[in-house]
Amino acid sequence: MNFITIADWSNLITLKWDSFMNDIHKFITDLAYSQTQFSKPYFRKNNTSSYNLIRAFFQYLDMIVLDYYYLEFTEKLLGLSLLYILMSNIMGNLDFRLLKEKLCFTIDEINRNIEFNVLFERFLFYYWELRLEFLFEHIFYVSFLIDSQFSINPPKLNQNIEDHENVQF
């Protein structure tokens, strides 16, 4: 018997998100999203933005599993919480890193994120039969890593070789 892991849950979550994005028109008829053009973030499209998104998602996931406290949480809800934070940053137009500098968001930023919360709640209920409030504790836990920055570009091989050659012991 193979037990489902956090990586398995996260893979399934990202697949379901892409399916949700394909059917987004069903879920936004009463939201401001239906009035505007917005880019739909996909994890598995054959383009650079999807590659960067899924890579960032799994790099954040790697950071989560490096902290042994993650074992106190539900793996599926951790993956959904990570999705919420990433998509809120992309679609909700809230940059959590700016909160430390601004101390508050503008009314437009908050309203835009309320719309996103409604949309995300629909995703949670339609695919997982969950409510956003079930994620709050997990979102709080996952949010500690939101300041982390990742390099999407692979390191240059020649530069790394030169750096290693110059190391002195």
Q: Is 76 a member of any domain?
A: yes
Q: Is 99 a member of any domain?
A: yes
- Domain range spanning residue 21? 6-165
Q: Is 87 a member of any domain?
A: yes
Overall size of the chain counted in residues:
169
End-to-end CA distance of the chain: 49
pLDDT score for 115: 83
User: Per-residue pLDDT for the chain (169 aa), expressed as one digit of tens each?
Assistant: 788 999 999 999 999 999 999 999 888 888 776 656 677 899 999 999 999 999 999 999 999 999 999 999 999 999 999 999 899 888 866 666 555 555 455 566 556 678 888 999 999 999 999 999 999 889 888 887 666 665 556 555 555 445 545 544 4
Q: Is 1 a member of any domain?
A: no
Q: Is 135 a member of any domain?
A: yes
112 vs 36: CA distance, rounded Å: 12
Torsion of CA 25, 26, 28, 30, to 10 degrees: 130
Q: Is 112 a member of any domain?
A: yes
pLDDT score for 69: 92
Please state the pTM of the whole predicted model: 0.79
Number of domains the chain contains: 1
pLDDT score for 161: 46
Q: Is 92 a member of any domain?
A: yes
Q: Is 24 a member of any domain?
A: yes
Q: Are 121 and 131 in contact (CB under 8 A)?
A: yes
38 vs 76: CA distance, rounded Å: 27
